[in-house]
Structure 1
Amino acid sequence: MRPIAKLPSAALALTVAVTACGGGGEATTQAGPVTLRMTVWTASEAHLKLLNDIAAGFTKAKVKFESLPVDTYTTTLTTQIAGGNAPDLAWILERSAPDFVGSGALAPVGGKLENRGELIPSATRLWEKDGELYAYPFSTSPLGVFVNTDLLKQAGQKPPGKGWTWDEAMAAAAAVAKKGKAGLAIPDFEYKEWGVLAGIWGGWGAKAWSDDGATCGFNSPEMVGAMTFIHKSIFVDKAVPGPGTTVDFFAGDAAMAISQVSRAGLLKDAKFGWELLPLPAGPKGEYAVIGQAGVGVLKKSPNAELATEFLAYFTNAANSAKLAQFFPPARSSQLNAETLAKSNPLLKPEQLQSVVIDGINKGTVKPVHKGQEELSQTVRAALDPLWRPDADVKAVLDDVCAKIQPMLGA
């Protein structure tokens, strides 16, 4: 996700009109059927069609999906809440989870969810407080590496396999770059969204801050080692496209890309051979990093009870299986290669097992902290000097900690 910018001038809205049918019951007011409004950050036709199909089966209300620009999603959502225009339900980014859960903005939903006990603990941790669940982790998607096997072959590189290392990955990426194509693309990074780099620095055992969130970790030996490796890969080895360069792996322009499994659909008509692998091992061994999102009911919603019923319906076993086409589920009963293969036909069972299932079971979520939006912008600005060929990595990371340590302890 990109950093917060100015508020959008308009939001794209998709209304799903649902006609109540016998036996379903219909919530009504003097004006007619209740309309539930749910904010989402996707405008993808495929995503919205899926939401359409699911909502069409809920007979108790009409549902309106409001697509907000991702660049300003959280700012727009919080502005709506503060202005008395809170949606009934909202997708919430993992980086905003501590603020939404901790502030009391969300209504408890755990008691209404179908088979809550089968939700994987590592997936619900961000969305819990004092034993209560405040959002359903509908998308728990580990980072993996998509590989263009044709470009590797053309550069004289062997196809990588499970158990590969970052040294091997960057060497292969550099070899492809020398042949005129890009090496390793990091689509969501763009030298702004630094949290995506956890997909690399996790191999060094590095952390943005301590587990309790109180101490900066950017200038730790592990992070300095990881960032030195990343810096060298960009400016010396040319294995990673430099600042200002946009590369589309899914169009065949790069050897590799760090991304989430939901992007596999972009390869449906690919004209090149490709593979999906777990993140390479680093000096500290194998690891996994997860991107996550939850759906919560806003406490200020005038229809909070009905919205919670819709959330329970939206996330029941049948609909969770449908959502798995794009959003890996957190239900243990569905976290198997056979179930996931039904909604992800482009991926092989071994890819689903090694990247998605193993990743969810052992992975850690990208960096999150209370006050994340302000914190993220401060880190981004402090890291800007790092993206220069002559950067002093340790000095830059020391400065990051100097800037954010007072915020961590606040």
Structure 2
Amino acid sequence: MRRTMLKTTLAALAVTTGLVAPALSQELRMAIWSANEAHLALFNEIADEFEASHPGVTVTYDSLAFEGYVTTLTTQIAGGNPPDLAWLFDTTAPDFMAAGALYPLTDTFAKTEGYDIADFPPATLTAWSRDGVQYLYPFSTSPFGVFVNNDMVKAAGAKTPAELIAAGEWTWDNAIATAATVAATGKQGLVVRDFDFKIWENLAEIYAGWGAHPWSEDTKSCAFNSQEMVDAMTFIHDAIFVKKAMPGPGVSADFFAGDAAMTTTQISRASLLPKDDKAFDWDLVPLPSGPIGEYAWVGRAGIGVLANGKNPELAAEFLAFFSSKDNVAKLARFFPPARQSLLTADVLSAANPLLTKEQIETVVIRGVATGQSTQQVPNFAQLQQTVRAGLDGLWQPEADIPGVLNTLCDRLNPLLAAN
């Protein structure tokens, strides 16, 4: 906000002193779910460059809370105050496209000099298009890995994940055993970042290792009561309530604040690693192997232009600038690119000085190449809330896991069949 006020004041001063001619004032606002200072600094750098070539244009970012993000965004749209651009989950993008809420981007990208839409593999565009029209830019295709506090693991007398990997023993069973050993010392073991017994879909980082999915391949029926999901949820439940390897309900623990030995999350969180006297010996490793063997899980986010924004044409032009090769190379520091030409160890190493080439190769590049991601399904917002409420019965020590999941499917099947 200070940045915007200062730029506005200086622009007004320049006009009143006759240094420049007055320009038509236009403001673009992008809704995002990050308030990370390092992310915002980079976003603002890109905005500054765009503003420099577009006199009178101001770009601002509206950081909305991650939990409830989509609800806040749809409330703004319904209230007649939509942002010009929005950062969207791949799970909710289909509903926005189907509702006609997004401005088509195909022509804007095609006429932007040097944009090179062919640099995006077709598979990376599918989630963000409808009927052959591109509605969102594939902003991030980011694999999940495990950040590790090696100091904490060693102090507990356990093997580090790197040692387990070298021995061919980096499995979920051994990861939870390590986490439980740390938890016995009074710290927390493993935290699924942003789960907090609310955002259940983040558990996919674990249950995908069992080959489990929330619904059938055609998304017409519930799969929460499949044997794969029952086994995975039993494993998670046991890790929380029996082994005490994961924080239980009501327990807050932040890996980056030194509260836990491990956390599953994406490389964009590397900027949260502590520095100076609070720093610790850390590592980033792939997700442990599950019963299905080695696997990777990828989170996807896109950026679209709201069709009923104040100036969708200008917003689309900014998005094309934001997603140019030069800017995507900068954004790769936090958000692995979908652009094939930039998905290399050299580019990502230059953008991510905190990460080693080995970490980038094993977690990021391999993860993008092989990673699974959330099944897209219509009406996800209602399904999401139904699952969240249905899983509440799971988060207690004596839960009947198959019973809870069967009841959940009884609630989900009519909703899925109606899609």
Does the TM-score normalized on the shorter chain lie above 0.5? yes
How do 1:116-265 residues align onto structure 2 when only pairs under 5 Å count? 116-161=117-162, 162=165, 164-265=170-271
CA contact (8 A) 1:13 1:65 kept: no
The alignment yields a C-alpha RMSD, in angstroms, of 2.0
How many residues are treated as equivalent by the alignment?
A: 389
Change over 3 Å in CA distance of 1:66–1:160 after alignment to 2? closer
Which residue identity is paired with 1:348? T
Secondary structure in structure 1 of the residue aligned to 2:198? coil
CA contact (8 A) 1:196 1:366 kept: no
Whole-angstrom CA distance in 2 between matches of 1:72 and 1:90: 14
Q: Does 1:389 align with 2:397?
A: yes
Q: 1:59-104: CA deviations, max 9, x gaps?
A: 2232232222333321222222223322221111222112112222
How do 1:68-87 residues align onto structure 2 when only pairs under 5 Å count? 68-87=64-83
Whole-angstrom CA distance in 2 between matches of 1:277 and 1:120: 26
Which segment is superposed worse, 235-244 or 368-377?
368-377
Whole-angstrom CA distance in 1 between matches of 2:69 and 2:349: 31
Larger helix share, 1 or 2: 2
Whole-angstrom CA distance in 1 between matches of 2:332 and 2:285: 19
**By how many angstroms is 1:387 displaced?**
0.8
Whole-angstrom CA distance in 1 between matches of 2:250 and 2:293: 32
Unaligned runs of at least 5 residues, structure 1:
1-11, 20-29
Q: Which residue of 2 aligns with 1:41?
A: 33
Q: Percent identity?
A: 53
Q: TM-score, with normalisation over the residues of structure 2? A: 0.88
Q: Does 1:64 align with 2:60?
A: yes
Q: 1:168-195: CA deviations, max 9, x gaps?
A: 1111111111122211111211111110
Change over 3 Å in CA distance of 1:390–1:283 after alignment to 2? same
Secondary structure in structure 2 of the residue aligned to 1:291? strand
CA contact (8 A) 1:14 1:66 kept: no
Q: Which residue of 2 aligns with 1:409?
A: 417
Secondary structure in structure 2 of the residue aligned to 1:57? helix
- Of 15, 19, 28, 2:4 maps to 15
Change over 3 Å in CA distance of 1:83–1:252 after alignment to 2? closer
CA contact (8 A) 2:197 2:249 kept: yes
Secondary structure in structure 2 of the residue aligned to 1:219? coil
Change over 3 Å in CA distance of 1:78–1:89 after alignment to 2? same
Q: TM-score, with normalisation over the residues of structure 1? A: 0.90
Change over 3 Å in CA distance of 1:122–1:14 after alignment to 2? farther
CA contact (8 A) 2:343 2:365 kept: yes
CA contact (8 A) 1:177 1:238 kept: yes
How do 1:368-379 residues align onto structure 2 when only pairs under 5 Å count? 368-379=376-387
Whole-angstrom CA distance in 2 between matches of 1:320 and 1:276: 23
Which residue identity is paired with 1:396? V
Q: Does 1:53 align with 2:45?
A: yes
Secondary structure in structure 2 of the residue aligned to 1:364? coil
Q: Which residue of 2 aligns with 1:308?
A: 316
